Amino acid sequence: SQTIHQWPATLVQPVGSPLSLECTVEGTSNPNLYWYRQAAGRGLQLLFYSVGIGQISSEVPQNLSASRPQDRQFILSSKKLLLSDSGFYLCAWSIRKSGANVLTFGAGSRLTVL
């Protein structure tokens, strides 16, 4: 069966510090991978998605970047965090199949920037 792992679960970082959130998927090959952010009381906002190694699409301009160094690994990064980067970050995957886009989410990473 497929599983998705996301870490760290919680993170408190000072403004200006770097960030690295990691996500890995097991039990499947060639998945679509996604990073979402969820602000308190708000819906999910798509940040990045990837359809293959090294292929990253960004949905909104921001202080963050993403990388996919391996087929089942997706990393969310920042060189210098801003206060506005605080939020709940969710990694997700879906089968690479046109029209399906059924997402399976990780447990999430709570980032607090102070």
Partner 1 sequence: KNQVEQSPQSLIILEGKNCTLQCNYTVSPFSNLRWYKQDTGRGPVSLTIMTFSENTKSNGRYTATLDADTKQSSLHITASQLSDSASYICVVSARYSSASKIIFGSGTRLSIRP
Closest listed residue to residue 73, CA positions, set 3, 9, 25: 25
Query: Can you tell me the distance from the alpha carbon of 90 to that of 39, in angstroms, rounded to the nearest whole number?
Result: 11
Rule CB under 8 A: say whether 95 interacts with partner 1. Answer: no
Contacting partner 1 within 67-86 (CB under 8 A): none
Q: Bridge-partner residues for 7, per DSSP? A: 22
Quote the least distance from Cβ 16 to partner 1, whole Å: 26
Quote the least distance from Cβ 44 to partner 1, whole Å: 5
Closest listed residue to residue 32, CA positions, set 20, 17, 48: 48
Quote the least distance from Cβ 97 to partner 1, whole Å: 11
Q: Which is nearer to partner 1, 92 or 113 (CB)?
A: 92
Q: How far apart are the first and last CA of the chain?
A: 38
Span of 12-20, 65-73, 78-86, 94-102 interacting with partner 1 by CB under 8 A: 94-102
Rg (CA), the chain: 13
Span of 14-22, 63-71, 72-80, 99-107 interacting with partner 1 by CB under 8 A: 99-107
H/E run at residue 92: strand 87-94
Q: Which residues bind partner 1 (CB under 8 A)?
A: 6, 32, 34, 41-44, 46, 49, 57, 59, 88, 90, 92, 94, 98-108, 110
